[in-house]
Amino acid sequence: MLKPRRTHIDYLYDFGDNWEHRLIVTRVRQGDPDLEYPRYLRGERNAPPEDCGGIPGFYDMLAVLADPDHPDHAEIAEWIDEYDPDTIDELPMQYALSRIARRRNAAATRLKRKNTADNS
């Protein structure tokens, strides 16, 4: 059972770079039957670029980007192109979760139809 401020979900992404994530359930409420779930509500900050070297590499990369006189600045800036750690691209998350919701809702509809047919 999900309990606000007590349920923590930990997972590890990218075993090589060891990105550890913790999701904390902050509020549980009744779902709206007119909405599809899961759905994206909001996020903070951009995910780090792939293969940046884990947490130490990510912070090193940010330091190099902040210092135009650093010898690796141009190379790192070119590698990450227009990456901005403060800007989150919400569209891919919205799209991915809506695909999951459509599959989930389609499966629930098929199951409901089957149960209705079985009980007739």
- Predicted model pTM: 0.58
Would you say residue 66 has pLDDT above 80?
A: yes
Residue 5: per-residue pLDDT:
67
Angle among Cα 19, 22, 23 to the nearest 5 degrees reads 135
Residue 1: per-residue pLDDT:
67
Q: What is the percent of the chain with per-residue pLDDT over 70, rounded to a whole number?
A: 93
Separation CA 11–CA 67 (nearest Å): 33
